[in-house]
Amino acid sequence: MTITVAGEKKEYKEGLALPELIELEDVETPQYVTVSINDEFVATEDKESTVLKEGDSVEFLYFMGGGQ
């Protein structure tokens, strides 16, 4: 199936789970990454159980913050 990851169309197996995609995409420190699928943010507690489907568009957003 075709999934768009960070704006780029890619082919993945059917029934790909979000944690698998995170691993395949080599996302650093995934615990600090916000994921959106089709412009909807995935709740932290739903990350493990989310399964992707044909045509999904996924974004990985790193937490950005700090302090002086």
> Which stretches of the chain bind other proteins, using CB under 8 A?
7, 28-29, 32-34, 36, 39, 41, 59, 61-68
Least spacing, CB of residue 6 vs other proteins, in Å: 8
DSSP character string of 8-52 = EEEE--TT-BHHHHHHHTT-SSGGGEEEEETTEEPPGGGTTT-B-
Q: Which is nearer to other proteins, 11 or 65 (CB)?
A: 65
Residues 6+ apart with CB under 8 A from 67: none
- Residue with smaller CB distance to other proteins, 14 or 66: 66
Q: Least distance in Å: CB of 44 to other proteins?
A: 12
